[in-house]
Chain A
Amino acid sequence: MISFGPTEEQEIVRDTMKEFAQQAMRPIARDSDEAASIPQDFFDSVWELGLTSTQLPEEHGGGGEPRAPVTNAILLEELGYGDATLAVAAMVPSGFANAVADYGTRDQKERLLPLFCQPTFHAASLAVVEPGAVFDAVKPRTRAEPKGDAFVVSGVKSFVPLGDRASHFLVVARNGERLDAFIVPREAEGLTISEPEKNLGLRGLTTVSLELERVEVPQADRLGGKEGCDVRNLLASSRAALSAVMVGLSRGVLADCIPYAKDRVAFGEAIAKKQSIAFRLAEMHIEIEAMRWLTWKAASFVENRLDATKSAHLARCYVAEKCMWVADNGVQIYGGHGYIRDNPLEMWFRNARTLGVLEGTIGV
């Protein structure tokens, strides 16, 4: 039954996150960007919210709440409104843990999930993106070759978030005709972790590249064991999640532009009274609405275990383009002030471009 009505619980989650975004994210966003690092306090406060553990099974120490991708999309929009970098950082451990919870074998869950149900913050990360031009998530260059009861994984991954502190990486690689994800511990032999990368946006999020040189991964560490897992679903989930962050970012841009355009006077009246500005604000609102429903739809397909590949592709493709458009026009409405680093527009503009080309990193 088609419905756009969040549950009461989802409304509570939304309100809680809205407050968290205002109090714990906005005040530190610019400093994290300038310092290219996120304070440990932030991770601790995220951990206290239970974003990662709540939806993990009780038997492994989690909260036992059902997996709820739509709720996560709603929550991510609010976090994205607070700050995109911090939003992604907050959800990186969940990306890993939920993948294990959704597709892992019993043994994998028993070994890994308790790590995320401890009282202190624990990071593990997804390694999907690869360096070089024209990266395609469904055609990674990283290879896994079967060798006896194990796999030998070779290749290079980049934009691996929280790579400075992750205990494990979920590495997506091509295994013959299929795609697989491999659990690779930080200490694995043949794995080299780079210094933090320098990126256009999401600068606070420490990302690294991984060089895998004939890393041997036992069958037991292929996500899903002998069966493997459907990596396309993992990608769909990440597209929905990144879309949700972009909806939040775009909403933030519009929310800032409205009072600015009403205050800023040119030729004797507020620029908001000129149709060229007013219509652009209207257009932003129109697009942000559409972006949100596309994101919800993709998340709802993931939640109902339907094939989300198409809806997630449509969402990502539309949301990434429009988020960039909104941020770009936000800078334009602010004029010179949008170009100055005192204003968040400058940072949001860079973050929008960065989010739009990412894959993996987090899921719903």
Chain B
Amino acid sequence: MIDFTLTENDKARLARTRAEALICRKYAREYEEREELAPDELPERKEFLASAAAVPEPGPDDTPRPVMMALQAMGAYWGDYSIRLKRTGGGLGNAALTAAGTKEQQAKWGHLTLSMAITEPGCGSDPSMVQCTAVLDGDEWVINGEKIFVTTGIRAEGAVIWATIDKSAGRAGIKSFLVERGTPGFEVPYKEKKLGIRSDDTAVYLFKDCRIPRENLLGLDETTPKKSSGGFRGVMKTFNMTRPMTAAMGLGLAEAALDFTREQLEGAGFAIEYGAGLGTLPAVVEKFIRLEALFEASVLNTLECVWLAGQAKPNNMESSVCKAHAGSAVRVITQGCIELLGPMGVSREHLLEKWMRDCRITDIYEGTGEIQRLIIARGLLEYTRADLK
């Protein structure tokens, strides 16, 4: 049955997420200015655990798990992009391991925090252009190439990297490999300097004749059938859950911006009144409500996508729909909030300008807005990659 209300249990869980997020927010500016990772565990954690009310396990009448995961991600990112009361392990590479790895591979590396290294200086949105190579030499793969924009790249204990084993095979030649940190020839020369999410560790990886065991090829499939996309499609599938999650993350930041702006507008005497017409509402209020509507629209697109995942229904289109929508919505919302607050919005005394910088990544990583539109258009038009480039 179509329903948009949260159960008491849902509300308790989300309230707890927000309470944690507020503690984390206190550290947001400090670690962003230092461009450093926050500690694995904040000093407030023990006290919080002792004082926070226990939340019962979700029951069958509560909101399904994937929907709650998206709402909880929104709640956590509403506090800050990077800081957590206690950092949990795992990275994008773990999702790839689950999607593409054999059972043995998952058992061997699943406990490690794994980054995902796809992007190269000359290839981003079109990963089939990967230049990084893996050449079989005896029982070892020899990896050469450069990877950039690697999320959680510093703290990761291993990396899932994309490399081609046969350039002439095109996409079918691209395979994913697991490279553990400390492997000779695997260097992490520096951290990227970025517009936002500065306390996050986005790194550059260099592979110089880096030798890894033959069984580090995820899925162990060394064939490159001409017409198939090989393991490519399998890895692309992991995006069906990560895309709505990145949408939710960006929306958490946008919500923080909206909440702050509302507070400031109300403090300045502008009541946010719903139901009234254009003739009645001051311009700032009218604009604010439009931003709020955009936010609501984006949240609902995202929740519908993860709800489908929870029902084990296909959500390939929807994951692109919500990511594309959120990617542009969070830009409009945070930039619009700054416009509403004027010079106050750009002051580094407040976090609004940081939220605007942080959420700008939403429309770029995990597939740019343009890539999402390409996927959606192909779906609508029943076009192949060759039909619509």
Contacts and interface: CB of A to CB of B under 8 A. Distances in A.
A181 B372 CA distance: 48
Given A139-B277, A293-B304, A296-B2, A282 B297 contact: no
A317 B110 CA distance: 47
Interface in A265-318: 272-273, 275, 278-279, 281-283, 285-287, 289-291, 293-294, 296-297, 300-301, 304, 306, 309-315, 317-318
A60 interface: no
B3 A309 contact: no
Given A136-B280, A313-B289, A318-B294, A3 B2 contact: yes
B278 A318 contact: no
B30 interface: no
B377 to A, nearest CB: 4
Contacts of A273: 383, 387-388
Interface stretch (B59-67, B207-215, B341-349): B59-67
A112 interface: no
A235 interface: yes
A289 B388 CA distance: 22
Given A136-B278, A139-B280, A313-B274, A2 B380 contact: no
A286 B321 contact: yes
A190 to B, nearest CB: 27
A258 B307 CA distance: 27
Interface string B363-374: 000000010111
A70 B383 CA distance: 34
- The binding surface of chain B is classed by DSSP as helix
A134 interface: yes
Given A1-B7, A4-B304, A293-B301, A317 B293 contact: yes
A262 interface: yes
Contact of A262 (B62, B289, B304, B381): B381
B277 A138 contact: yes
A137 interface: yes
Contacts of B294: 318
Interface in B304-352: 304, 307-308, 311, 318, 321, 324-325
A124 to B, nearest CB: 25
Nearest to A257: B380
Given A278-B381, A282-B324, A297 B376 contact: no
A330 to B, nearest CB: 14
Contact of A301 (B4, B10, B64, B276): B4
A294 B2 CA distance: 12
Given A3-B2, A6-B2, A290-B300, A137 B7 contact: no
B280 A138 contact: yes
A7 interface: yes
A317 B374 CA distance: 28
Interface in B42-69: 61-64, 67
A297 B297 CA distance: 10
A279 to B, nearest CB: 5
Contacts, number: 166
B67 A2 contact: yes
B63 to A, nearest CB: 5
A292 to B, nearest CB: 9
Contacts of B278: 134, 136
A296 B383 CA distance: 31
Given A138-B280, A139-B276, A258-B380, A300 B3 contact: yes
Nearest to B275: A309
Nearest to B68: A2
B5 A286 contact: no
Contacts of A291: 297
A232 interface: yes
A318 B296 contact: yes
A134 B277 contact: yes
Query: Which of B2, B67, B277, B381 has the largest count of A CB atoms less than 10 A from its CB?
Result: B2
Given A136-B280, A314-B289, A318-B296, A2 B303 contact: yes
Contact of A289 (B64, B301, B372): B301
Contacts of B307: 2-5
Nearest to A259: B381
A283 B388 contact: no
Nearest to A321: B290
Given A1-B62, A5-B2, A286 B301 contact: yes
B279 A293 contact: no
A306 to B, nearest CB: 8
Interface in B262-310: 274-280, 289-290, 292-294, 296-298, 300-301, 303-304, 307-308
17 contacts: A1-B62, A2-B4, A2-B5, A4-B304, A134-B279, A136-B279, A137-B277, A139-B280, A275-B377, A279-B370, A286-B321, A286-B376, A290-B325, A293-B303, A297-B4, A312-B275, A318-B296
Given A4-B2, A137-B277, 12 more contacts: A2-B67, A3-B1, A3-B2, A3-B64, A3-B307, A134-B277, A138-B277, A258-B380, A296-B4, A310-B274, A310-B275, A317-B290
